[in-house]
Amino acid sequence: MTIPRLIVTDVDRTLLTHDHVLPQRVADALHVAREAGIMIVLATARSPLGLKPYAEKLGIAGLAICFNGGWIGNVSTGVALSEQRIGRTDALHTMATAQAAGVRPMWFTGHAIHALAEDPIIAREAGVTAEPLIVAKALEDLPGEPGKIMCVAAQPTDREAFGALRVQLARCLSVSGSHPRLLEIGPLGISKKTAIATVAAELGMAASDCAAAGDAENDLEMLAWAGTAVTVENAVPEAKRLAHFVGPSCDEGGLADAVAWLLQRQSTLAMADETGGRNG
């Protein structure tokens, strides 16, 4: 592990609490990291619109990763540097298949969320990111090509349908979970890891220059790719196994502890390099 020049962090249940609150101690820790010269990039399943309030509050809206890696850009202006969407044929097939399975699919354009029926569970999920919710009269009325499709399980038995959907969609789409009741669907081969690798390459950084933080299945590839991986206590077991440091739960602002650990390592490694140089 080397000193990180870039920290990429997941948002929901890593940066934010389970109630979608940004703890002040986390905001303070990220500010300290930026003051130390470390770049911070948010990587989320959210749309740019859904991420915007938090990115702007942290002062890091200029470059972010949204839609699980499908969108890279400035969330304040909405201008994308890179954008990959689900092809319309695959997207319509996914919506129809998920609707038939009873797992409440949601079509994200980046400007609004579209659904095939009025549903309080879908309305609740749309309310989390405060995006407009539009109910289509028919499948064909869904607009354009979505940035992602998210399916919601209302009860434990619905999660069994997730497994069947994974099998049906795996050959043409990327499928991963951001929460046990949320299934994220995007373009084939696109993930937070591919987006981070793109951002790092543009900045002239290698994987060893990057630290990644995340808690869920859709974070695992980026945690494995980054030179240093950190997570929080509420993370899935696979994320904890990949992590070099596990902080307290997101509800306790555990990301702040992870950032403090990274900064302490940075200081320790810098001192070791300085000592080595003097002794050399």
* Tens of each residue's pLDDT in the chain, 280 residues: 677 999 999 999 999 999 999 999 999 999 999 999 999 999 999 999 999 999 999 999 999 999 999 999 999 999 999 999 999 999 999 999 999 999 999 999 999 999 999 999 999 999 999 999 999 999 999 999 999 999 999 888 887 899 999 999 999 999 999 999 999 999 999 999 999 999 999 999 999 999 999 999 999 999 999 999 999 999 999 999 999 999 999 999 999 999 999 999 866 655 555 555 545 5
Structural domain that includes position 162: 88-187
Domain contains 134: yes
Shared domain for 173 and 258, answered yes or no, is: no
- The packing angle between helices 24-35 and 48-58, to 10°, is 70
Whether residue 260 sits in one domain with residue 197:
yes
CA distance 107 to 64: 21
The pLDDT value recorded for residue 192 is: 99
Nearest to 46 by CA among 2, 25, 15: 15
- Half-sphere exposure of residue 183, counting CA atoms within 13 Å on the CB side? 28
Residues 6 or more apart whose Cβ sits within 8 Å of residue 175 = 165, 166, 169, 183, 184, 185
1 belongs to a structural domain: no
Residues 99 and 227 in one domain: no
Residue 26 sits in a domain whose CATH number is 3.40.50.1000
Place of tokens 């400007």: 111
Show the tokens assigned to 34. Answer: 């930026």
Whether 131 is in a domain gets the answer yes
Say whether both 148 and 221 belong to one domain. Answer: no
What are the residues facing 115 on neighbouring strands?
A: 135
Domain boundary among 187, 203, 233: 187
| CATH code of the domain in which 151 resides | 3.30.1240.10
Within a domain: 142:
yes
Where a domain ends, among 187, 214, 234?
187
pLDDT at 195: 98
Q: What per-residue confidence (pLDDT) applies to 269?
A: 59
Residues 182 and 125 in one domain: yes
- Judgement on whether residues 67 and 41 belong to the same structural domain of the protein: yes
Q: Is 187 in a helix, a strand, or coil? A: strand
Alpha helices in the chain (DSSP H): 24-35, 48-58, 88-101, 120-129, 158-169, 192-202, 220-225, 237-242, 254-279
Token pair belonging to 24: 């002040």
**Total domains, the chain:** 2
Q: Is the pTM of this model over 0.75?
A: yes
Q: Are residues 246 and 257 in the same domain?
A: yes
Query: Would the CA dihedral through 30, 34, 40, 42 be positive or negative?
Result: positive
Q: Please give the pLDDT value at position 270.
A: 58
Quick one: residue 102, left, alpha or beta (phi over 0 = left, psi -120 to 50 = alpha)? left
CB 56 within 8 A of CB 118: no
Residue 200 has what pLDDT? 98
The domain boundary residue, chosen from 187, 211, 226: 187
